[in-house]
């Protein structure tokens, strides 16, 4: 029974550390870029787009499709950085143990 109690305490500690980590990640902002810096997207730790910066040279009516593609690419770049940071934090938190299949943090 002592082992079970110990395991429950460890689970509670892990849960607490995961909540702290998620709060920390929610405060994080990462930038993704595309087109050699012509488009920059800023996402928060939830993957929500917080800012978009376009180089003035891109704002031409006949280049709308290119601009849209660059925005999507910049957003995806920032989102992949968020996911990488999340994975790094989870590895540190779990001591390198993989998460069970299908378990996601957000």
**DSSP letter string over 9-61?**
HHHHHHHHHHHHHHHHHHH-EEEEEETTTTEEEEEETTS-EEEEEE-GGG--G
Name which CATH class applies to 26-94: alpha beta
Interval 1-21: pLDDT, tens: 678 888 888 888 888 888 888
Interval 25-77: pLDDT, tens: 888 999 999 999 999 998 888 788 888 888 888 888 788 788 888 888 998 89
Q: What is the pTM of this model?
A: 0.56
């Amino acid at each position: 029974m002592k082992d079970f109690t110990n395991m429950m305490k460890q689970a509670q500690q892990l849960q607490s550390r995961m909540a702290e980590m998620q709060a920390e990640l929610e405060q994080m902002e990462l930038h993704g870029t595309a087109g050699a810096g012509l488009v920059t997207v800023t996402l928060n730790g939830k993957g929500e787009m917080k800012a978009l910066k376009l180089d003035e040279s891109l704002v031409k009516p006949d280049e709308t499709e290119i601009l849209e593609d660059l925005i999507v690419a910049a957003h995806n770049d920032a989102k992949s950085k968020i996911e990488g940071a999340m994975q790094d934090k989870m590895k540190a938190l779990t001591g390198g143990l993989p998460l069970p299949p299908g378990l996601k943090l957000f």
